[in-house]
Structure 1
Amino acid sequence: MRLTWVQPEDLVGHELRQAAQDGRDAAGVERRWREAGGHPAPDRAGASPAVATPELRRLATRLLDELAALDSPLAGREPTGLAAVKAACPDWPAPGGPGVPRDAALLRRLHAAWLGRAAGCVLGKPVEKLPLDGIRALARATGNWPLDGWFTAVGLPPETAAAHPWNRRSAATSLAENIDGAPEDDDLNYPLLGLLLLQRYGPGFTTADVASLWLDELPAGRTFTAERVAYRNLLAGVEPPETARFRNPFREWIGALIRADVFGWIRPGDPAAAAELAHRDAVLTHTANGVYGAMFAAAAIAAAAGGGVDVHGCLRAGLAVVPPGSRLAAAVRFGIEAARAAGPGAAAFEAVVDRLHARFAGHHWVHVLPNAALLAAALTHADGDFTASICRVVSGGWDTDSNGATAGSLAGLLAGSPEAIPARWTAPLKNRLSTTVAGFDGVGFDRLATLTLEAAR
């Protein structure tokens, strides 16, 4: 059996790449790995096709520990502990906020956020894992470029379909012709788990509480990358936050960011509190930039949930909780600046995407840095428009469904109500979400908005 995302021989290549990005000198380790017959990291899949020998697996385990012991010259400006993060942020938001309003306006914003997250996620599902040229070819071949609607196989030339196959797990439920409610996805399961976390433990939850909830409610097979490694570590008796560091080369990938929305939703107008909740959740699985991605998203979404702030103010609120000398802050700033330098209109965004892909060419497609840069660029260029936000970000490639979900959540909040989101995005969802999270299968987005408001209070 080939187990994805946890086999030592598949992790070494990813850790070597992370070491290069961290500035750690891993040349000696890499040479020993190559001389022993070790392979590079799988490009897109979670496991390599070859079965490792016992000797190679034992070597991989030793090398992972050696790599972890190497000092990073970036560690000083990229701390993980909350106190150090706050100390590194000169513009950390003032604590508190307007409180949770007890009016219908927040409920309608939350309803729009759930719908927006689902729509953006489903839009990105059929092209997840596809390279950028494949996404563009599929959309162009059906007259949907610049991207402005659901992907479709109707009218798709056979040669294009053969050259750029859809994501096989998602095509049956996420093309224009077959969407029938929101299908299950980890980007939608995690907000549900966030609600369960708040219902069970309240906003004073600990990182250990998050771990306990996962062991109770989240099957290991529904986790990926850093989450699966952390889950493995929990089962081996490793305590959080060491679960995020121990033999986990995915600790700066996007996983914590996709879990962050709910913490912004329940702290409307209070980016500082949202970021602190997101930090507490994120350190189970991530460190440094991986944690900052979650804090950035939670703070930006909290600003949007509070109302009265445009998308640019939301992005500023997100940056305020990220150490300005970190690579995550630099990536977000680069995305914003690239979008501002581009001309108006959807066609102009293609050049922005090309700049981002050139800048982050050495990163995995699920790493947090390129995806945060793309998210910031798309939201900036769309200037708050819902359709433009989700279409721009999905058209940019990388982790399409995750980015679509986060952009849709924030843009939905800015829209302010379900009716303000074009019906062509919400009607196919049929107010129904499929999930294996206990107690939620078939739940309506209106019900989820009510539960989220209750959690906020």
Structure 2
Amino acid sequence: MSVIPYDYEERVYAGVLGKIIGVYLGRPFEGWTHERIMAELGEIHYYVHEQLGKPLIVVDDDISGTLTFLRAMPDYGNSLALTPAQIGQTWLNYLIEKQTVLWWGGMGNSTEHTAYLRLKAGIKAPESGSIKRNGQVVAEQIGAQIFIDGWGMICPGDPELAADLARRAASVSHDGEAIYGAQVIAAMEAQAFFEPRIEALLDTGMSVIPSSSLIYRLIADLRSWRAKYADWRETYARIVEHYGYDKYGGNCHIVPNHALIIMALLYCDDSFSKALSIVNTAGWDTDCNSGNVGCIMGIKNGLAGLEDGPD
């Protein structure tokens, strides 16, 4: 592991704040399409919860899951040999079924609930989250990505370790492309403590997953479209055409939403507030995507970077 940066604690704090800001910014219109957002809210530049008659601060699985599952590390002696089975046991140790942390949507509907029921039945991770056990559609939903930020933040400057820990953690509930998406996010977050350039961070993220994977190809396409189109909306149209929700099954697939995260990073001009504006205006799983983007930008730009918005 590389040397811990002198401002490590502050950068982690900025990453956590960035995630929380992102989640609560996107949560009131989670699941909306870009078209509906533009028709009813316009471009997202600030909190809109009051317009929609919703509270701003609520218990949210995207935040609580990220911090809860990371408890596996201290609970097992902060060992770098931590196994998927131990992380799975941490789920059983901390979750209260149908009450805390997760969206308890039922077997075959909620990926995390499905994995929990597998664990409860004695099926250990990584089989608990495997495609073989749960099917590809269930195993490749978005949850592995949204819960992964903590694993990146405990590996400053060591994206390979972050990606490896992300694989172990994600495999409790997910498989396939969902794990690759989570590994990309964790690796970029680990490297963001030392590397401020988005393109370099994307190089890092792509380096930890197979070049044959769909997530790898998606990121390559996004980078190509960024070079061609100055307006993110043009790239968004390409995402809808090639990687849209109609191409993948389930409630909330990893692939379309990962694409929006990469798009926001590529078009944000190094601005925390612009990155969140783009990823939320684009729609789909807004709180999850915005949370990951906020964490990456928070780590990368630090607390000062959070000041570039309307506040």
TM-score, scaled relative to structure 2: 0.88
CA shift, 1:189, in A, is 0.8
CA distance in 2, matches of 1:266, 1:322: 20
Residue in 2 that maps onto 1:351: 234
Question: Which of the residues 85, 98, 119 maps onto 1:208?
Answer: 85
Cα offset, 1:424, TM superposition? 5.8
| Partner amino acid, structure 2, of 1:213 | T
Give 2:106's aligned residue. none
- Structural mapping, 1:6-85, within 5 Å: none
How far apart, CA to CA, are the structure 2 residues paired with 1:172 and 1:106? 35
- Using the alignment, how far apart are the partners of 1:153 and 1:261 within structure 2? 28
Shift of 1:262: 0.9
1:129 match: 31
**Which one-letter code corresponds to 1:149 in the other structure?**
Y
Provide the residue aligned with 1:422 in structure 2.
307
What do residues 115-172 of structure 1 show as CA deviations (whole Å, max 9, x unaligned)?
Answer: 10011111110111222221111222xxxx3x32222554xxxxxxxxxxx5xxxx52
CA RMSD for the aligned pairs?
Answer: 1.9
1:24-67 CA-partner distances (Å, limit 9, x unpaired) = xxxxxxxxxxxxxxxxxxxxxxxxxxxxxxxxxxxxxxxxxxxx
What are the equivalent positions in structure 2 for 1:353-372 lying under 5 Å apart? Answer: 353-359=236-242, 360=244, 361-364=246-249, 366-372=252-258
Q: Does 2:99 match 1:99? A: no
Map residues 109-188 of structure 1 onto 2, 5 A cutoff: 109-140=11-42, 145=43, 147-154=44-51, 172-174=54-56, 182-188=57-63
| CA deviation vs aligned residue, 1:242-268 (integer Å, no higher than 9, x gap) | 211323431111111112111111111
Query: Is the deviation greater in 357-366 or in 106-115?
Result: 357-366
Question: How much identity, in percent, do the aligned residues show?
Answer: 28
Q: Secondary structure at the match of 2:211?
A: coil
Question: Which segment is superposed worse, 357-366 or 321-330?
Answer: 357-366
What runs of 5+ residues in structure 2 fail to find an aligned partner? Answer: 104-109
CA contact (8 A) 1:339 1:378 kept: no
* 1:324 shift after superposition: 0.8
- CA separation of 1:341 and 1:149: change in aligned 2, threshold 3 A: farther
Residues 222, 262 of structure 2: 8 Å contact kept: yes
CA distance in 1: counterparts of 2:25 and 2:159, whole angstroms: 28
Once residues 338 and 402 of structure 1 are traced to their aligned partners in structure 2, the CA distance between those partners, rounded to angstroms, is 23
The one-letter code sitting in structure 2 at the alignment partner of 1:197 is A
108, 112, 133: which one pairs with 1:227? 112
Paired letter, 2:21:
A
Residue 329 of structure 1 corresponds to which residue in structure 2? 216
After the TM superposition, which parts of structure 1 deviate over 3 Å for at least 4 consecutive aligned residues? none
Alpha-carbon displacement from aligned partner over 1:378-435 (angstroms, at most 9, x marks no partner): 101113210111111111112110100000001111212x23312767x7xxxxxxxx
The alignment partner of 1:256 has SS state of helix
Equivalent of 1:396, from 279, 282, 295?
282
Moved more, 295-304 or 248-257: 248-257
Greater relative contact order, per chain length (Cα 8 Å cut-off, separation 6+): 2
Amino acid at match of 1:352: T
Confirm or deny: 8 A CA contact 1:340 1:381 kept in the other structure: no
Q: TM-score, normalised by structure 1?
A: 0.61
Give the total of aligned pairs.
295
1:99 Cα deviation from its structure 2 partner: 2.6
Distance in structure 2 (CA, Å) of the matches to 1:304 and 1:265: 9
CA contact (8 A) 2:151 2:162 kept: yes
CA distance in 1, matches of 2:174, 2:58: 27
Tell me the secondary structure at the aligned position of residue 183 of structure 1: coil
Q: CA distance change for structure 1 residues 384 and 194 in 2, over 3 Å: closer, same or farther?
A: farther
Separation (CA, whole Å) in 2 of partners of 1:423 and 1:333: 29
